[in-house]
Amino acid sequence: MTESVHIDLGDRSYDVVIGPDVLATPEVWAGLPKAAVAVIVTNTTVAPLYAERLHARLAPLYKTVQVLALPDGESYKDLATLETIFDHLLTQGCDRKTVLFALGGGVIGDMTGFAAACYMRGVPFVQVPTTLLSQVDSSVGGKTAVNHPRGKNMIGAFYQPQRVLCDLGTLRTLPPREIAAGLAEVIKYGPIADAAFFEWLETHIDALVALEPAALAHAVRRSCEIKAAVVGADERESGLRAILNFGHTFGHAIEAGLGFGVWLHGEAVGAGMVMAADLSERLGLMPVGFKARLSALLLRAGLPVVGPALGGVEDYLHHMRVDKKAEGGEIRFVLIEAMGRATVRSAPDAVVADTLRACCAPAA
């Protein structure tokens, strides 16, 4: 019942394993890195649901299995919480072969991966994502980071996991808002890389919202296939990989401007994709109607399509100028030039301002 997507990165290659009950499938846990100690890093929401099951799966493989439960939420994706992981590893005498298991969503995956990259200059880690967003995006590709008050994911490293194990059954414990947030990252793959997948999503979005197993399995697999191809061609985002950030330049501004955790990442990306679609139309890259078509799909997924006012246009521009994709203070946007094909480019501030005024709530 499981499927695998291979991430081809030479000696850093690994598989993304997808299935309805991966936590209870013994064969997918074979061949993990050998060590005396495994540490499950999770949060206070996920731990009561799945930590015991993962502990039982790992107990035959490791002499000692520890569980570290961090506070839950994007607001804890910071250096202080990262230090909590290091404190645990050092207090417990963990060595450079200790294996970290990231059990949770994107916040846990990013922080655990960054901790693994840094602790003793690098220890192995395994992703066990339990949210839709982390299964289709953040757990795959080796981006690890924490937030800084001045910007999202500004402190981090590229560091690949040993394996990604996606148990689709864990998605059934997610609230609808988290499902919608994950669907934003699924939807982005259509405009940037696969027009046929976008059409499939338009037909099957209601099934995905309802967590229909066959639809979920296809959406997660296809999302991972697209990301695998992009990451395999451009691991460190020197070019092609940047297209995976469709909607993220605007979305990161929303998250930083509101305060991390007020909007979920996928919600901010949803509104950000509408802004990017609007900008694509204004620059003549896409015909009028693309923004409306994308907005209709996002609305059916339960996502916002209007950005918050923040402090107005200048506030948005300020946050976007410190985005990682900015070059020399020039904002870079992922825009769509044909359904299934993206480009990364700048745009005049006056045109971006028109997009912000058209796509955001009016300032109070």
> Dihedral of CA 165/170/174/179: which sign?
positive
55 labeled binding residue:
no
Q: Are residues 31 and 80 in the same domain?
A: yes
Residues assigned a catalytic role: 121, 143, 185, 227, 237, 241, 245, 248, 252, 265
Q: Are residues 157 and 235 in the same domain?
A: no
Q: Are residues 89 and 180 in the same domain?
A: no
Distance CA 224, CA 244 (A): 12
**Strand ranges, E, within 199-285:** none
**Strand ranges, E, within the chain:** 3-7, 14-19, 37-43, 64-70, 99-104, 125-129, 143-148, 151-158, 164-167, 333-338, 341-345
Distance CA 337, CA 334 (A): 10
Closest CA to 105 of 199, 208, 190, 178: 178
Distance CA 151, CA 306 (A): 21
Distance CA 159, CA 276 (A): 29
Could you tell me if residue 285 is inside a domain?
yes
25 labeled binding residue:
no
- For the CA atoms of 246, 362, 255, 325, what is the dihedral angle to 10 degrees? 40
The pair of structure tokens assigned to 79 is: 């250096």
Q: Are residues 65 and 163 in the same domain?
A: yes
| Long-range contacts at 2-8 (CB < 8 A, ≥ 24 apart) | 2/28, 3/217, 3/221, 5/221, 5/224, 5/225, 5/228, 6/228, 7/140, 7/141, 7/160, 7/228, 7/231, 7/232, 8/228, 8/232
Q: Are residues 162 and 188 in the same domain?
A: no
pTM score = 0.94
Domain tally, the chain: 2
The CATH number covering residue 33 comes to 3.40.50.1970
Which residues form the domain of 231? Answer: 176-359
Distances in Å between the Cα of 325 and the Cα atoms of 21, 45, 101 are: 37, 32, 29
Q: Are residues 69 and 208 in the same domain?
A: no
Could you tell me if residue 314 is inside a domain?
yes
12 labeled binding residue:
no
73 labeled binding residue:
yes
Distance CA 238, CA 344 (A): 11
Q: Are residues 73 and 154 in the same domain?
A: yes
Of 170, 195, 228, the residue at which a domain comes to its end is: 170
Q: Are residues 212 and 278 in the same domain?
A: yes
Of 170, 193, 215, the residue at which a domain comes to its end is: 170
152 labeled binding residue:
yes
Q: Are residues 124 and 201 in the same domain?
A: no
Could you tell me if residue 364 is inside a domain?
no
pLDDT at 1: 83
Q: Are residues 28 and 80 in the same domain?
A: yes
Closest CA to 244 of 298, 177, 194, 300: 194
75 labeled binding residue:
yes
Q: Are residues 127 and 17 in the same domain?
A: yes
Distance CA 357, CA 128 (A): 40
Of 100, 135, 170, the residue at which a domain comes to its end is: 170
Could you tell me if residue 151 is inside a domain?
yes
Q: Tell me the pLDDT of the chain (364 aa) as tens digits.
A: 899 999 999 999 999 999 999 999 999 999 999 999 999 999 999 999 999 999 999 999 999 999 999 999 999 999 999 999 999 999 999 999 999 999 999 999 999 999 999 999 999 999 999 999 999 999 999 999 999 988 889 999 999 999 999 999 999 999 999 999 999 999 999 999 999 999 999 999 999 999 999 999 999 999 999 999 999 999 988 889 999 999 999 999 999 999 999 999 999 999 999 999 999 999 999 999 999 999 999 999 999 999 999 999 999 999 999 877 777 779 999 999 999 999 999 999 999 999 999 999 997 6
72 labeled binding residue:
yes
110 labeled binding residue:
yes
The pair of structure tokens assigned to 76 is: 């804890």
The CATH number covering residue 206 comes to 1.20.1090.10
Distance CA 334, CA 252 (A): 13
Q: Are residues 138 and 192 in the same domain?
A: no
Contacts of 230 (CB under 8 A, 6+ apart): 193, 240, 241, 243, 244
pLDDT at 364: 67
